[in-house]
A = this chain, B = another copy of it.
Amino acid sequence: MTEPAAEAEQDPEVTAQEATVPVPGAARGGPISHAIFRLARLHRMFAGQLLRRIGLHPGQELVMMHLWELGPQRQIDLVRLMDSDAATMTRTVRRLEQAGFVRRRPSPTDRRASLIEPTTASHALRREVEQVWSRLEDISTAGLSGAECADALATLERLEQNLVRAATPPPEPDARPQ
Protein backbone atom coordinates (compact mmCIF):
# COMPACT_ATOMS: atom_id res chain seq x y z
CA MET A 1 0.00 0.00 0.00
CA THR A 2 0.88 3.60 0.00
CA GLU A 3 2.62 3.46 -3.26
CA PRO A 4 4.36 6.75 -3.48
CA ALA A 5 3.10 8.56 -6.47
CA ALA A 6 1.33 8.26 -9.71
CA GLU A 7 4.03 9.53 -11.96
CA ALA A 8 1.55 8.90 -14.75
CA GLU A 9 2.46 10.09 -18.19
CA GLN A 10 5.08 12.70 -18.39
CA ASP A 11 3.48 15.08 -20.78
CA PRO A 12 -0.12 15.88 -20.18
CA GLU A 13 -2.35 17.37 -22.75
CA VAL A 14 -2.74 20.53 -20.84
CA THR A 15 -4.87 21.80 -23.63
CA ALA A 16 -7.03 24.62 -22.56
CA GLN A 17 -8.44 26.50 -25.45
CA GLU A 18 -9.19 29.20 -22.94
CA ALA A 19 -7.40 32.03 -24.57
CA THR A 20 -10.00 34.73 -24.68
CA VAL A 21 -13.35 33.58 -23.51
CA PRO A 22 -15.79 36.32 -24.29
CA VAL A 23 -18.19 36.82 -21.45
CA PRO A 24 -20.89 39.41 -21.34
CA GLY A 25 -19.77 40.55 -17.94
CA ALA A 26 -16.34 41.28 -19.26
CA ALA A 27 -17.44 44.05 -21.52
CA ARG A 28 -19.84 46.01 -19.38
CA GLY A 29 -19.91 44.07 -16.16
CA GLY A 30 -16.65 44.03 -14.29
CA PRO A 31 -13.42 43.69 -16.17
CA ILE A 32 -11.34 43.20 -13.05
CA SER A 33 -13.73 40.74 -11.48
CA HIS A 34 -13.88 38.82 -14.65
CA ALA A 35 -10.14 38.80 -15.09
CA ILE A 36 -9.81 37.44 -11.56
CA PHE A 37 -12.36 34.81 -12.40
CA ARG A 38 -10.57 33.69 -15.55
CA LEU A 39 -7.14 33.76 -13.97
CA ALA A 40 -8.39 31.75 -11.01
CA ARG A 41 -10.01 29.20 -13.28
CA LEU A 42 -6.90 28.71 -15.33
CA HIS A 43 -4.61 28.64 -12.36
CA ARG A 44 -6.75 26.09 -10.61
CA MET A 45 -7.00 23.94 -13.70
CA PHE A 46 -3.26 24.05 -14.13
CA ALA A 47 -2.54 23.16 -10.54
CA GLY A 48 -5.07 20.36 -10.80
CA GLN A 49 -3.36 18.85 -13.80
CA LEU A 50 0.07 19.03 -12.23
CA LEU A 51 -1.18 17.56 -8.97
CA ARG A 52 -3.10 14.79 -10.66
CA ARG A 53 0.14 13.33 -11.95
CA ILE A 54 1.46 12.92 -8.44
CA GLY A 55 -1.76 11.43 -7.14
CA LEU A 56 -3.21 14.41 -5.32
CA HIS A 57 -6.29 16.52 -5.77
CA PRO A 58 -6.32 20.30 -5.44
CA GLY A 59 -6.35 21.24 -1.79
CA GLN A 60 -4.74 18.04 -0.60
CA GLU A 61 -1.31 19.38 -1.38
CA LEU A 62 -1.83 22.24 1.04
CA VAL A 63 -2.70 19.85 3.83
CA MET A 64 0.39 17.82 3.13
CA MET A 65 2.62 20.88 2.98
CA HIS A 66 1.40 22.04 6.34
CA LEU A 67 1.95 18.62 7.84
CA TRP A 68 5.43 18.28 6.41
CA GLU A 69 6.31 21.71 7.63
CA LEU A 70 4.71 21.72 11.03
CA GLY A 71 4.41 18.07 11.97
CA PRO A 72 1.32 16.42 13.40
CA GLN A 73 -1.68 18.70 13.59
CA ARG A 74 -5.25 18.42 14.70
CA GLN A 75 -7.85 18.80 12.01
CA ILE A 76 -8.98 22.07 13.47
CA ASP A 77 -5.43 23.39 13.16
CA LEU A 78 -5.36 22.46 9.51
CA VAL A 79 -8.72 24.09 9.02
CA ARG A 80 -7.41 27.33 10.52
CA LEU A 81 -4.15 27.21 8.63
CA MET A 82 -5.96 26.83 5.35
CA ASP A 83 -9.01 28.87 6.24
CA SER A 84 -10.92 25.83 5.18
CA ASP A 85 -13.97 24.07 6.53
CA ALA A 86 -14.17 21.40 9.23
CA ALA A 87 -16.46 19.20 7.18
CA THR A 88 -14.23 19.45 4.13
CA MET A 89 -11.19 18.68 6.25
CA THR A 90 -12.79 15.56 7.66
CA ARG A 91 -13.23 14.17 4.18
CA THR A 92 -9.93 15.39 2.83
CA VAL A 93 -8.05 13.78 5.70
CA ARG A 94 -9.99 10.58 5.24
CA ARG A 95 -9.03 10.44 1.57
CA LEU A 96 -5.41 11.23 2.31
CA GLU A 97 -5.49 8.47 4.90
CA GLN A 98 -6.95 6.01 2.42
CA ALA A 99 -4.29 7.04 -0.08
CA GLY A 100 -1.66 6.28 2.54
CA PHE A 101 -0.28 9.79 2.85
CA VAL A 102 -1.37 10.53 6.41
CA ARG A 103 -2.10 8.60 9.56
CA ARG A 104 -4.42 9.41 12.46
CA ARG A 105 -3.35 9.12 16.03
CA PRO A 106 -5.57 9.90 19.00
CA SER A 107 -4.52 13.06 20.73
CA PRO A 108 -2.99 12.24 24.09
CA THR A 109 -4.55 15.27 25.70
CA ASP A 110 -7.93 15.59 24.04
CA ARG A 111 -10.09 12.63 23.36
CA ARG A 112 -12.21 14.60 20.92
CA ALA A 113 -9.29 15.25 18.64
CA SER A 114 -6.89 13.17 16.68
CA LEU A 115 -3.50 14.14 15.40
CA ILE A 116 -2.89 13.91 11.70
CA GLU A 117 0.65 13.13 10.69
CA PRO A 118 2.34 12.46 7.37
CA THR A 119 3.40 8.89 6.74
CA THR A 120 6.96 8.09 5.86
CA ALA A 121 5.68 7.03 2.48
CA SER A 122 4.38 10.54 1.96
CA HIS A 123 7.82 12.06 2.12
CA ALA A 124 8.52 10.88 -1.37
CA LEU A 125 5.73 13.19 -2.40
CA ARG A 126 7.18 16.25 -0.81
CA ARG A 127 9.71 17.07 -3.45
CA GLU A 128 7.15 16.46 -6.14
CA VAL A 129 4.68 18.81 -4.54
CA GLU A 130 7.34 21.44 -4.18
CA GLN A 131 8.22 20.99 -7.82
CA VAL A 132 4.62 21.46 -8.78
CA TRP A 133 4.40 24.73 -6.90
CA SER A 134 7.68 25.90 -8.26
CA ARG A 135 6.65 24.97 -11.76
CA LEU A 136 3.37 26.79 -11.34
CA GLU A 137 5.21 29.85 -10.15
CA ASP A 138 7.63 29.71 -13.05
CA ILE A 139 4.81 29.46 -15.51
CA SER A 140 2.84 32.27 -13.95
CA THR A 141 5.77 34.63 -13.80
CA ALA A 142 7.28 33.74 -17.15
CA GLY A 143 8.80 36.76 -18.75
CA LEU A 144 8.37 38.97 -15.72
CA SER A 145 11.32 40.79 -14.24
CA GLY A 146 11.88 40.81 -10.52
CA ALA A 147 10.33 44.25 -10.29
CA GLU A 148 7.37 43.18 -12.34
CA CYS A 149 6.84 40.19 -10.10
CA ALA A 150 6.89 42.40 -7.05
CA ASP A 151 4.45 44.66 -8.79
CA ALA A 152 2.14 41.83 -9.69
CA LEU A 153 2.27 40.54 -6.16
CA ALA A 154 1.42 43.96 -4.79
CA THR A 155 -1.52 44.20 -7.16
CA LEU A 156 -2.85 40.80 -6.22
CA GLU A 157 -2.50 41.57 -2.55
CA ARG A 158 -4.17 44.90 -2.91
CA LEU A 159 -7.17 43.30 -4.57
CA GLU A 160 -7.17 40.65 -1.87
CA GLN A 161 -7.08 43.27 0.84
CA ASN A 162 -10.03 45.02 -0.70
CA LEU A 163 -12.03 41.84 -0.52
CA VAL A 164 -10.83 41.07 2.98
CA ARG A 165 -11.87 44.51 4.14
CA ALA A 166 -15.28 44.22 2.55
CA ALA A 167 -15.72 40.78 4.06
CA THR A 168 -14.58 41.74 7.50
CA PRO A 169 -17.66 41.55 9.65
CA PRO A 170 -18.55 45.00 10.84
CA PRO A 171 -16.62 48.22 11.02
CA GLU A 172 -17.87 48.16 14.61
CA PRO A 173 -17.13 51.79 15.30
CA ASP A 174 -18.12 51.16 18.87
CA ALA A 175 -15.39 52.70 20.97
CA ARG A 176 -15.18 49.86 23.43
CA PRO A 177 -15.59 46.59 21.58
CA GLN A 178 -15.18 44.74 24.81
Grouping DSSP codes into helix (H, G, I), strand (E, B) and loop, the A interface class, with mixed when no group exceeds half, is helix
- Is residue A3 within 8 Å, beta carbon to beta carbon, of the partner chain? no
From B6, B33, B171, A43 is in contact (CB under 8 Å) with: B33
- Is residue A147 within 8 Å, beta carbon to beta carbon, of the partner chain? no
A31 CB to nearest B CB, Å: 6
A134 CB to nearest B CB, Å: 6
Known: A16-B168, A141-B162. 17 other contacts (CB 8 A): A15-B168, A17-B83, A18-B167, A24-B65, A24-B69, A25-B65, A29-B133, A30-B133, A31-B137, A40-B43, A42-B167, A46-B163, A139-B163, A140-B163, A142-B166, A152-B155, A152-B158
* Listed A/B pairs (15) with beta-carbon separation below 8 Å: A16-B83, A24-B66, A24-B68, A31-B137, A32-B153, A33-B136, A33-B137, A36-B140, A38-B160, A39-B163, A42-B164, A46-B167, A142-B166, A144-B158, A155-B155
